[in-house]
Structure formats: structure tokens, C-alpha cells
Structure 1
Amino acid sequence: MRYFMTKSSVFYLQKEAWDDTEEYKDNYKIVIKAREQNRLPFIHQSPQFSYRSSLVEYLKQVCVEKKLSHCCLHLAVYILDIFMDNHSIIPERILLVTNVCLLLAAKFEETNLTIPKITELNGAINNRYQIVDYKTLEIVVLRFFQWCIMFPTAAHYVYYYIQSAICEEDIKNKGINMRTIFYNLHHCVSEYLDQIIGNVHYMQCYPPSKLAAAIIAVSRMDIGLSCWTEQLQNMTDYKREDINMEIFVLKTKNPFTDCQKCKTDTNY
């Protein structure tokens, strides 16, 4: 997918505003970090967890077809993970829940022109539900989240951090223009964003801000740049050593954790 985040997103920070005032930048950091702290705890107790892999693939496919942003996709997956973790959903309704989670994320992240219609989402699954089912379940999901789904994901943070992902020294050392460097970085970042939604431990067991910082770091290494810079440290408030674990799990593609559920349930 091409797009990290659309301009309609509440987490979108326009370049003009970024340049105009340091105070706005500092306030933005405070707000997004506060939202990160308010993420709901993940207990890893979903009875329908075996469906997760196919549901995520379905969401990725729809987001590609509808040209929805990475942030929309990641928010939809986060909402789905948390909602499934707290509810027992019959298999016949699982795709309805998935579509509703995507619809809510799209309403939050996308413009009116790109928000998929209920009929389009229902058509993608052979119109197996009634339109009223979607509207009813939307209220159920929103009530569960206490009418607030403004949770930053790693994708949101990546878009935020990527503004400082390349510095003048990188251009001098590589001897190629910034457009080429940024294109290569963008490609690597997109690959890692796709990687992390496939495993619930990436999404739920690591702070999204640290995971996003690690994605920027490993993407820089993948295109031959140094792992970390002072510019990125100032942007993320993380030193290189703060994200060592996240860098390791991304490079090894093994989000090892001390998850007790995984030790007792092989389905996870």
C-alpha cells in the first residue's frame, strides 16, 4: 500500500504546522503519548483467535482494493484484536465484526470519499448480513470502547517519525538524492508494517511508539544507512539502546515474549 496516513487523520501533522511552532510539536507529542497510555490491555483470551490470521489477510486485501491507509488498516486490526479479546463471537458473525472494525477505523482515518460503504463491505463477503446488522454492531463496538477509538498504532507513529528519518548527512554519505533514499526507505517501512500486523504480539505486547522507532531504525539499516541519528532521538525521545529489543525482534521476525497464554495454548 502506498499511503501511511491520510490528511483527515487526527494524528496527521501537517509539515507547515510542524515548521511553524515548536510548542505545537511538543503538545502533539504529549497528546499522542497520552493516547498510547490509554490503550486497552490485551489479555490474550480470545476464543476465536484461530480466525485472526485469515481475518487480517482479509482486511489487508480490502484496504489494498479500497486504497485505504496503513493507519486505517492497523487501527482496524487493533480494534478487532481488543474486541475479540473481550467477547465470544460465533463463527457466523466473525466477518461482520471484522467489517465493522474496518468501517469504524475508516471513518476515523479516511476522507468521506474513501470511506467504504456498508454495501461495499457486505458485497465483499457475498452480502451475508443485513445493513441493520452493521449499524447495530457499530454501536456495540463503540460502547465497548466508551466511544473513543483514538488509539495510536505503530503505523501512526511511523508516519510521525518518518519526517525526521533522513538527514542531510545521509544524503552526503550515500551520494544519491533524497527522493531515491526516501522511496527506498518507504518501501522497507511498508514491508515491516505489513509484517507486524500478522502477529498479535507485535501489535499488543510492544509499545507502538517503540515499535515504530525500531521500524525506522531497521529500515534505515536495510537501505545502508546508520541505524539511528540524533535527529531521530530528538523526534522519538528514544535513544538507540532503548529500542534494542524491538530492533532484534523485527530483524529476526520473532516477537518473543513472556506470554503465558502461548506457553499453555499451542493455537496461539
Structure 2
Amino acid sequence: MGRKRMEEQWWRGELAADIHRTLRMKELNLPLYKAHSPQIGMRRYFIDLLTILSSRCNLCPTARHLAVYLLDLFMDRYDITVKQLYVTSFACLLLASKFEEKEDKVPKLEHLNNLAYMCNVNVVLSKKDLLRMEMLLLENFNWNLCIPTAAHYIDYYLYASVGENDLHNGWPITSLTKVKAFMEKYAYYFLDFSVQDHSFLHFRPSLIAAASVCASRICMQISPAWTAQLELLTCYSWEHLAQCIEMMLIYYENDIKEASNIKKEVTMQHQQQEVMENLRHEATTQVLLQQSSYHPLVQRSASLFQFQSPVQDLCSAYRDSLQAHRPSTLLAGSADSSLHSYVALQASLQPSAQTLHVQMPVAMQVALGTEPSHCISVAYGSSYFSSCCSHPAGCFDG
């Protein structure tokens, strides 16, 4: 069930009623809690610290609740410095574990110091300081640690928490085992609530345990909320439990609201992250797919004209040179040969320049050869270098 149980389950034995009666008599002699501690504002912190330490040490619930109760009573009587409060908390945990657990379950000093370091507690415990504090605590409680807490009663009440005649949402219960398992979780949930607020110390421990069972039945929608069998077992009627149950249910509703708010905040954060990722993806896509400012068709004409002009000038100069140096005694064949050479040169040069306006593949080759090649941005993985720069790759690189 996720918690340590006592090996001897007295609530199932023949002496259960007698043990319960003895515990009820002892709680009548418990000292009155006045809530006069000057460090009462730090109580919640030290209660959480004891809860964490007892959980790490695998202590039973009765040891944890006894340690909390010893700390509450001691703080209520004395003005203790913050540093001494740490030593007092560890000493209360040790005494409670020695009283409720077997010897092999009692935490060792080295283990406690390691846990204190993990909990960011800037206190190194020594054996001498712990022994001195343990002696002071035992003297303060007259060497009597047989102090009943709500955890001492809860299992006895849970044993009869659900009956065969109970209804769940108006229907008969089909599986008592499953319902009792959920009932136990709810009851310990409310029991842990009771140690977080010192206001519950004004109630008797047995009443807190009974109210935890009744509040669990209400939350699980088990009717009736309080049965005659439970009233006979606990010696508490609905009127006795009403105030304590109301406080527990208020804490329960606040806890649900807080959990719901945390869930909404987490959901909103995830949604904002998704929106930012989508916007970032869209911006990246626009950068990669935006229309290039380079217009090859517009720049190609200027390039071709620049290329065609030198060719025409070369042809004209060659023709003029032939006409200027041609002798009058040239044979007709020589003249024809020279003219043939000129015609051949003009035919070999001019068509290339003239067809550049018509033949698109040739024009594209000339344009790409004379102009700087534009590149496509290539993104490696899902990010860009420096978040804005892309790695260039050649358009037609092999």
C-alpha cells in the first residue's frame, strides 16, 4: 500500500478493543497545546523536513506523527533558536523511531547527516549534541513517550471503515477490497493534512482519525457518510466530527484548486512553447523559400549585349584590315580565299552572338558563366548557425 505497516497488527487481534480503550485513556492526559511558540511561523518548514526524513528512512506513520507531536509540544514550551530547532527536529525523529520501530530501523548518525546535506540543511550533527538533546526531551516528557497520535488509531478505524450494506453512488459495493484500498489512501491523505496545520492540535488524536475516515467516505461518495457501527467503534457521533471534517474538506478543496491551477499553468506554458516553435518554423520557411532578388532574364540581356559588342567590333576590324592591305595584283583565287576566310570567321563568331537572343539553353549558360552563382540556404538539422545564419551550398555543386 506504499507505506510501512507494523508487523503485529493489533487492530485485527483479540486485544484490539482493550488496546483502543487504553489509548483513549492516555490521550485524556495529553498536555494542552497553546500555540505560543515564537517560532510557530517556521513550524510548517520543520514539519515538512521531518516528513521527508522519515520517508527517506522508511519509518512507519506512527513514528513520523510521534516525532511531529514531540516537536510541537517542545516548541510550545520553549524559545529555541533556529539552529537548535534543527537539532531538536532530528532528536525528535530519533526518539520516535527508537520507540516505534525495531532497532535495525533506527536511522544512523551518518545517514541523518547525509540526508541533511541533501535537504540543504547547513547543520552537521554530532553524537554529543544529539545525545544531549535527547536527554533534554526525555526529561521534558518525564521519560514517557507512550503518547497516542492520530496514526495510532487510523488502522483500527479503517478495519471497519466500509461495510457490506454501504452504497457507492447509490449502488451496492461490488468489491469491498478495492473500496477499502482507496479508503486507506484517502484516510492517510487527510491524516497528513492534520499535521500541517497546528489548528488540528486542538482536537483529540482519536477524533482526527475518525474524521479522516468520515471525510474519506464523503469524498468517495459512500453513503451513509457515518454509520452506527463506526459511531459505536469510535465513540464519536456526526456532531462530534462535523467541525474537524469541515476543516479537512476545506483543505481538500483548496488542494484540488491548487493542483488544477498548476496543471493549467503547465498546459499554458506548453501551448506557448508550441506557438513559438510554430512561429519560428514559419519564419524559417519564409527565409528559405522567399523569392530571390536575382532576376536572370533581366540581367541576361545586358550581359549578352556586352558580350555581342566586342564580337562585332572584332569582325569589323578584321574586315577593314583585309580591305586596307589587299594588293591589286591578287589573283581572283586569293581574293576569294581571303573573302572566304573572312566569311568563315564572321560565320563562326556572329551566329553565337546572334543566337544568344533566341536559344534559351545557350543564353542560360552564358549568363551563369558571367554572373555570380546564387546559392540555396541549407539548414543542418533543426537549427541554424547563430540562429540566423545559414550555411551556403552551391547551386550545382556535385
Say if 2:215 is the partner of 1:222: no
In structure 2, distance between residues paired with 1:4 and 1:230: 30
How many corresponding residue pairs? 244
- Counterpart position of 1:148: 144
1:224 deviation in Å? 1.8
> Deviations 1:115-170 (Å, cap 9, x if unpaired)?
21222123322461211111111111001000012111112121221111111223
> Deviations 1:64-99 (Å, cap 9, x if unpaired)?
212212221111111000001111212122111001
1:4 deviation in Å? 6.6
- Counterpart position of 1:133: 129
- Counterpart position of 2:85: 94
8 A contact 1:171–1:178 mirrored in 2: no
In structure 2, distance between residues paired with 1:189 and 1:3: 13
8 A contact 1:165–1:216 mirrored in 2: yes
Residue 58 of structure 1 is aligned with which of 28, 49, 53? Answer: 49
- Counterpart position of 1:71: 62
Residue 32 of structure 2 is aligned with which of 32, 41, 47? Answer: 41
Which residues of structure 1 form unaligned runs of 5+? 19-23, 255-268
1:199 deviation in Å? 0.5
Other structure's SS at 1:102 match: helix
TM-score normalised according to structure 2 size: 0.58
1:25 deviation in Å? 4.0
> Deviations 1:51-72 (Å, cap 9, x if unpaired)?
2111111111112212212221
8 A contact 2:11–2:156 mirrored in 1: no
Say if 2:28 is the partner of 1:30: no
In structure 2, distance between residues paired with 1:196 and 1:92: 26
Residue 178 of structure 2 is aligned with which of 177, 180, 201? Answer: 180
Residue 194 of structure 2 is aligned with which of 193, 196, 199? Answer: 196
Other structure's SS at 1:169 match: coil
Other structure's SS at 1:197 match: helix
Say if 2:157 is the partner of 1:161: yes
> Deviations 1:166-191 (Å, cap 9, x if unpaired)?
11223794433122101111111121
1:216 deviation in Å? 0.3
Residue 122 of structure 1 is aligned with which of 106, 113, 118? Answer: 113
8 A contact 1:5–1:71 mirrored in 2: no
Q: CA RMSD in A?
A: 2.0
TM-score normalised according to structure 1 size: 0.84
Which residues of structure 2 form unaligned runs of 5+? 118-122, 253-398
In structure 1, distance between residues paired with 2:172 and 2:128: 56
In structure 2, distance between residues paired with 1:72 and 1:96: 17
> Deviations 1:180-219 (Å, cap 9, x if unpaired)?
10111111112111211110111x1111111111110010
In structure 1, distance between residues paired with 2:172 and 2:111: 46
Q: Which piece of structure 1 moves more, 115-124 or 178-187?
A: 115-124
